[in-house]
Amino acid sequence: MYRLYYSPGACSLAIHALLNELEQGVELIDRKHAADFDRFESHGMVPVLVDDDQVIREGAAIILYLLEKHQHRMLPPSGPERARFIEWLMFANATLHPAYGRLFFLGSSLEDGTVKQHALNAASDTISALWAAVDRQLNRTPFVCGERICIVDMMLAVYASWGAYFPVDIHMSDKVKGMLEAVKAHPAFVKAIEDERQASM
pLDDT digits (tens, 9 = 90+) for 121-172: 999 999 999 999 999 999 999 999 999 999 999 999 999 999 999 999 999 9
The per-residue pLDDT for 44 is 86
Count CA within 13 A, CB hemisphere, residue 69: 15
Distance set, CA 74 to CA 97, 127, 142, 165, 178 (Å): 21, 26, 15, 31, 21
- Whether 201 has a pLDDT exceeding 80, the answer reads no
Mean confidence (pLDDT) of the chain: 96
Sheet holding 54-57, edge to edge: 26-30, 2-6, 48-51, 54-57
3-class state of residue 29 by DSSP: strand
Q: Which amino acid is at 194?
A: E
pLDDT tens-digit series, residues 83-115: 999 999 999 999 999 999 999 999 999 999 999
DSSP 92: I
- Whether 35 has a pLDDT exceeding 90, the answer reads no
Q: What is the CATH number of domain 2-73+188-199?
A: 3.40.30.10
The domain ranges of the chain are 2-73+188-199, 79-186
Q: Are 190 and 184 in contact (CB under 8 A)?
A: yes
Terminal Cα distance for the chain, rounded: 22
Q: Are 33 and 68 in contact (CB under 8 A)?
A: no
Q: Mutual orientation of helices 174-184 and 151-162 as an angle, nearest 10°? A: 110
DSSP 36: T
Q: What is the CATH number of domain 79-186?
A: 1.20.1050.10
The whole-model pTM stands at 0.95
